[in-house]
Every structure is written in structure tokens, then in C-alpha cells.
Amino acid sequence: MRLTDFKVLTFDCYGTLIDWETGIINALRPLLRNDPAERSHEEILASFARHETAQEAETPAMIYSELLARVHRRLAEEWGIAASDEDHRAFGGSIGDWPAFADSAASLAYLERFYKLVILSNVDRRSFAASKKRLGVAFAAVFTAEDIGSYKPDLGNFRYMIDALEHSGHAARGILHVAQSLFHDHAPANAVGLRSAWIDRRGAAAGPGATPPPPAGVHWDFRFAGMAELVEAHRAELRE
């Protein structure tokens, strides 16, 4: 199997193209300033993952920025830190401030010369529009949780995307799903028969970070440390 076998690259955004863990930690700093506990970044991210996943299951139709405000409230309550409704809303509105990974924009600019580029993300349209400015390309299609009415890893999100792409003339066999989260993306991609490329942004870092642990048996077809490494692999195939 080769990268050049595919016609469409579908991307998770947050964690893959946008450095959401840095964004989450930065957006939580106002809350954490009032926290007497010394929490490591890994502890903070694990708590975020637990509450975000629970809230997505409880309110699958909720707009993501509003859902993040609920997650902020849950974290404040768990940690025993006083926070206002304004504080919760500020965290929910922070998505546009989350930085892109250093290799994202240049890699996407290269890849759009060879592929149809598509987003499948647990986000709302307005929040993604703010992040899109950091990525620098015009995606051929964007499928959000707001559009679909559920959050990954729900298989419905992937089936919705596959159906839409098939209606535009792109068969599932020509799609490669590119993502960081084994839990949100690779496990459901396995279940619906999509090939996938793991962008292993965390590398040697301990634990799964801002995502829950993946289910047993999850697999991928390609593995890269970042988007730049994927681009180099594609260039190497073209040179062969």
C-alpha cells in the first residue's frame, strides 16, 4: 500500500493539524491560577478527556463551543475552583486561539496539489472557521459535529462523510483518513473499513493526553511523527 494509491485525504483537525493540547492548557490557565493543587499537564489533559467524552455522549447535538463551556464547568467543580459563567464561556470560545502545529500549513499546501482535502472534526462551523485561517488552504469539504449531530467516535460521523464523498464521485477505497487520536478516529475508521494514517504527535509522551485510551486492537496503515513526515514519504514515493 502506498500514499499515492489514494485520491482523498480526510483529516481530523484538533490534535492533528491544530495543537489542541497546547490550546487547552493555555485556555485553562485562568482557572488553574486559582488551583491550590500542583497538577501536571498530563493530569489536566486526562481530566479534560474524561469530561469532554462524557459530555459529548450526554449531549451529542450540542454545539462544540457550548460543550467546551460545560466541560470547563465540570473541571472547575471537580477541582473545587470558583469560576463564573463568563469564565466557562471564555474557555468555550477559545478554539480560535489554539495554535496550528508548525508543519501543518506547509504540509497541507503541498498535499492539496495531489489530493482532495477534507475535514471531519468534532467541532462547530464557527469555531472551525477561526482555526481554518491558521491552516492556509481551502478544504474541498468540511464535515463537523454540528452538521452531523453527533461526535466521533460515533460511526455515524464516518458514514456521513463517506456517503457525502461517494455522492461526489469518491469511493471509500480512495480515501485515507489522517488523524492523531486512536480513540476518536482510528478505531472508528477501522470499524467502517477506511484506511488510516496515524499522525503520532505525542511520540514518547506518556499516556493518551487529551483523548481517552484507545480500544484494544486499533490499527493503522501508515504512521508518521508529524505532517512533514507524511509529506516526505509522499515525495519519496514520487521519486521511486
Instruction: Kindly compute the dihedral angle of the four CA atoms of residues 120, 103, 196, 65, in this order, to the nearest 10 degrees.
Output: -30
Alpha-carbon gap, residue 147 to 128, rounded angstroms: 12
Residues catalogued as catalytic: 12
Is residue 156 within 8 A of residue 47, CB to CB? The reply is no
In the chain, what is the greatest distance between 2 CA atoms, to the nearest angstrom?
A: 60
Cell numbers that stand for 91 in this block: 474557555
Fill in the amino acid letter for 88. Answer: H
3-state secondary structure of 33: coil
